[in-house]
Amino acid sequence: MSTSEGTHQNRPQGEQESPRYQIQAAAFAPSTVESQTRGWSATQVLILVVTVLALFLIWFLFTAKSVRLAFSAPTQSVTLSGGFSLNLGEVFLLREGSYQLVAQAQDYVELTTAIDVDERRNQEFFFELIPTPGLLHLTVEPSSATVQIDDQQPMAAPQDAPYRITLAAGEHSIELSHPRYQGTAEIVEIEGKGVQQQLSVTLLPNWSDVTMNSQPSGAMIYIDGESTGVATPGTVPALAGERLMELRRSGFKRYQQRLFAEAGTAVTLQTAALVQADAQLSLTSSPAGAAVSLDGKYLGDTPIELDLASKAGQRLLVLAKGYRAAREQLNLPTGKVSAKHIVLERLIGDLRLETRPTDALVRVNDEALDTLNGKQNLALPLQPYEVEVTREGYTGFTTTVYPIPGVEQTLRVKLLTLEEARLAAIRPVFTDKGGHLLRIQNADQVNMGASRREPGRRANETMRTASFERLFYLADREVTNSQFRAFASGHDSGKFDEISLNENDQPVTGISWHDAAAYCNWLSEQEELEPFYEMEFAKVVAVNANALGYRLPTEAEWAWAARRLPPELSADGNQLRFAWGDSLPPPTRFENYADRSAANKIGRIIFAYNDNYTVAAPVGSYAANHRKLYDMGGNVAEWVHDYYEIPDDTAVNDSLGPTGGEYHVIRGASWMHGTITELRLSFRDYGIDGRQDLGFRVARYAE
């Protein structure tokens, strides 16, 4: 190196030279020294696990509760799930919480239940184990008796006696009955655990053995009109109770004797002396079961055998419902048995059916008929008939027809479409408990607002289309002071220039929009309808659009009822500009507006117009409009439901207006209005507080 060499040249003489050292490269070899950083040893891991387990166990022992589980029988296994548990024989250590218990014991039903461990230190639960069912061998005499266990359905008799019945352990009630035996009830205690038990029950007879004889013998014995098939002398079983014993033999009069039979007590009646019959008649009829009377006295129903006087004119009458009465004069020979069969004539009534639509399906007593162009003539025997007329897409019709002999009845049926039926089911008009007469309104659509070119138009009268799908009711008159005071007894509509606004039949005024909504809710309560408005502290905070309770009409509903002419008045759907037509002035006494009588009290009036009232008139004082509604054009302006806004031209459907706002819409002119702007039906005002010329009318949805 140059530096080293320079040094060497300048070293003084006589000084020894130091040995040179040079740096040389060496080959790399990895170090054999063991790394000082080591992982966890197996011993350390084991110590850590044991420590954690010990800490958990100590925590568990300090927080666990001692729970003793006791059972009514020795158990084979007990299992708890739902958390960590420690089993110490009959005692378990458990923390608070719910656990699922499953216990098994021989000859007992497996127990599955939940237990709740609470904060108590020591707790005990006892469980009654239910034995497995047992088997009852039940023998009944007679074997045809009805067996009913624990009020369940009667059991079917086994093909081979006895009954083999599996029953839960415990007490059971067994009731046995038979038409001819005395019923009984047995209480049996079933041991369960598969144990077989025996029970035998013999029912006691519920009849009396009655022995009868006659002179002459050979008479057939009848009980309550039914033949026993036994002839005298003979013994027959008569069910307990009052019975009519009867002997019949050809050529002899019937012998009858009443008997009160006692179960298990045999009775022998005295020998009956049969009397030779003067004449006998065996009477049958078609149909059977016809009522028979002789000389006006009812004798029984066919078939019947009669003992009659011979050679005597007797009037026989045979009657059956739906048949012509049969009348005969009898004159029977002495000492003979005569037979007579009477065929009754079926009475017929004519029924003419006419249906619309003509292809409707007609069923009479569930039998389909073929009709020609919706017409059918039927000849029907006298009995009730259920007539059903149906067609897909239409409501069905069902009625009961009673044919009348000799009279042609006509049944005309016009099925309604589903839509027609829906409308027909809705009341067109009714009066509610508040005294309001409401009329149904089947609205389609109305054009709201006014053209920019219309004189008097305001900027908030945007033209837009409103359509309707829901039917609604609208009161034909504004709410009166009297009606409102039924809700708020202290209300006073006040005066205007010393002229009263508070008469009972005048429209209520001076109320806020919230007051009007509260009245609607009160009216809903009177009718037990779900309220439309939800109120808090006398303020509306929400509405229930699905409710059928009373409400204020929407702005669109009010406009439709006031402006849209019905088809019979305007085929092209024209709408009114003013309540009376399209031009000023209104006809004399058409509505209550600001007329000449108010010239000194109100700024703008209709000159040369007179309606006979300076302030509000009694409601309904003027003619109703084309919807049979009063005062839609005047008297007082009216609150409607909608919040106020200047709308855009977007079409709306069943609109309730904006969902919020500060003010509400006011529609219609009043006794204070006389300008072209205010008199137009498209005029829109707004507010929230009451005023002297502002009232309301009620509305509600029909469905």
Supply the pLDDT for residue 13: 42
Does residue 467 sit within a domain? yes
Supply the pLDDT for residue 22: 52
pLDDT digits 0-9 by tens, 604-655 = 899 889 999 999 999 999 999 999 999 999 999 999 999 999 999 999 999 9
Does residue 12 sit within a domain? no
Question: What's at 149, amino acid-wise?
Answer: I
- 148 plus 86 within the same structural domain: no
Supply the pLDDT for residue 25: 56
Supply the pLDDT for residue 20: 46
Does residue 487 sit within a domain? yes
- 506 plus 602 within the same structural domain: yes
pLDDT at 10 over 60: no
pLDDT at 177 over 70: yes
Domain limits at 306? 279-343
For the residues 257-279, what does the mean pLDDT come to? 90
Supply the pLDDT for residue 541: 96
| Token pair 């200047």 in the structure block, residue | 646
Q: Return the percentage of the chain with pLDDT > 90, whole number.
A: 65
Contact (CB, 8 A) for 167 and 190: yes
Supply the pLDDT for residue 6: 38
Supply the pLDDT for residue 23: 53
pLDDT at 228 over 50: yes
- 213 plus 173 within the same structural domain: no
Question: What's at 334, amino acid-wise?
Answer: T
Count of domains forming the chain: 6
Domain end: 273, 303, 329, which one? 273
CA–CA dist 609, 679 (Å, integer): 13
Q: Higher pLDDT residue, 237 or 308? A: 237
Residues with Cβ within 8 Å of residue 28, at least 6 apart in sequence: none
Supply the pLDDT for residue 195: 93
pLDDT at 8 over 50: no
- 102 plus 154 within the same structural domain: no
Handedness of CA 538, 539, 544, 548 (dihedral sign): positive
Residues with Cβ within 8 Å of residue 55, at least 6 apart in sequence: none
Please provide the average confidence, as pLDDT, over all residues in the chain: 89
Supply the pLDDT for residue 30: 52
Residues with Cβ within 8 Å of residue 51, at least 6 apart in sequence: none
Does residue 444 sit within a domain? yes
Q: For 477-486, 524-533, 565-574, 582-591, which range has the lowest pLDDT when averaged over its residues?
A: 565-574
Query: What is the layout of strands, in order, in the sheet containing 163-167?
Result: 163-167, 134-141, 196-202
Handedness of CA 680, 682, 688, 694 (dihedral sign): positive
Alpha carbon 233 to its chain's center: 66
pLDDT at 547 over 80: yes
- The whole-model pTM stands at 0.52
Contact (CB, 8 A) for 82 and 97: yes
Supply the pLDDT for residue 336: 79
Does residue 44 sit within a domain? no
pLDDT at 27 over 70: no
Region for 475 from its dihedrals, namely left if φ exceeds 0, alpha if ψ lies in -120 to 50, beta otherwise: beta
CA–CA dist 177, 148 (Å, integer): 9
pLDDT digits 0-9 by tens, 68-109 = 999 999 999 988 898 888 888 778 888 889 999 999 999 999
| Token pair 């053209």 in the structure block, residue | 451
Does residue 16 sit within a domain? no
